[in-house]
Structure 1
Amino acid sequence: MTTATANVDERKTEEPEKPFKVQIKLRRYDPETRPDAYWETFEVDMYSTDRILDALHSIKWDQDSTLAFRRSCAHGICGSDAMRINGRNRLACKTLVKDLDITKPVTVEAIKGLPLERDLIVDMDPFFEAYKEIHPFLVASDKPEKERIQSIADRDIFDDTTKCILCAACTTSCPVFWTDGQYFGPAAIVNAHRFIFDSRDEDAKTRLDILNDKEGVWRCRTTFNCTEACPRGIEVTKAIAEVKQAILRGKR
């Protein structure tokens, strides 16, 4: 028997992976049925490659169709399914069940600091209002016939903050945001950073003036919660510090 044939035979005799039981403890809320939030536990069959989003789908499709949560692309790009999983902000579509401690129920609840609407869904309007206030768009007076040229070095300055997907995981992990409804929050500052340090933009001073407000960057307490929560690996705390430095210099 050749080596190739032996390998094929070995693959044929491999046992298919068997599912394992996982308990998912969800914080439920439906203002139409009861005024308070409550915990409810479901048991689902999972595989090692399954994600928390798969568990939620299983619950909604097979056990309780009233479960409400947001999701879209399911590939960590749209940012729709940010939630608190075992006490940490994460994307449900990127969190593998096998990476969690499944010897006890996995807790899943809505992100904090934004108004709770139902189950795992929060009102994102306050988050996007803060985002819009920092002018998250390129401002340039020239009208080139071709693309605006930018050096690799100039791009590197703000490349990290272009990765934001507006999932709100960083902002809703911030203790200041939980207690201060006026604070812009890390995500808004990250997106301001993306344009403040863009060499093609001409509105950096306006954004710096906005973030120099009492509810701007100076409310940050540098706890690093935001950096740890970011599913895109953005160095959020570093970006906020760079915006603070730019304000103190009076320019980018």
Structure 2
Amino acid sequence: MLTVGVDLAAEAVRTAVAWLDWSADGARVGRIEIQADDDMIVEALMRADKAGVDCPIGWPDAFVDFVVAHRAGHVRVPAGVAGRDWRRNLALRVTDRVVRDLTGLTPLSVSADRIGHTAMRCAGLLAELARRGRPADRRGDGVVVEVYPAASLRRWGLPFRGYKRSANLAALGDLVDALREAAPWLDLGPYERVCRASDDATDAVVAALTARAASLGLATVPTGEQAGPARTEGWIALPTTPLRDLHG
């Protein structure tokens, strides 16, 4: 089995892709690329059995309705709703609120934060994937599943904060150490050095691990009233079991 993790940014310069090959012996990092362009990402997604993409793959339904109404000049603010509460409903998807409730972490708002630029790039990548015959199901049922590495790390009991950017390389190294200890079956091989030098690379590996969890049915899925919004807004898969369960 091949799982792919994509730590997506608006441009190639902060984008990393990791390929994990799974066998009875465990998982081996077969390749990591940083500064990945669109062609490389699409080719990786085409080859993957399951791919985790760290980026919103949809916008809040309420926000889309708001923009459409605004264009037509028919915006109506709900009566009796405080401004902040109303705007929060436009800023967060159903899955964002679920992640916040389960982990205490609030994902960046795709409609109100700069992550929107990355989501625009992601939309183009998924459109190209569909043109090649592998359409993405925003609920995560297809080849692509939306992931949030910090939330995955927290669910696995691993360090999930303070390892970003070059000023925090020591903390990044601690995270890699913790990951190797928690998953002795994970072989980083020659790419361990890359993971210790680039938080983008490490997040791509975590995204690929989360994709494995989703493929095994060991991650959250939308249920009940969540299913409808997830179809258009997207759904962040959170691991539901310890990291060790990814290697049966």
User: TM-score, normalising length from structure 2?
Assistant: 0.24
Q: Which has the larger share of helix?
A: 2
**Which has the larger Rg?**
1
User: TM-score, normalising length from structure 1?
Assistant: 0.23
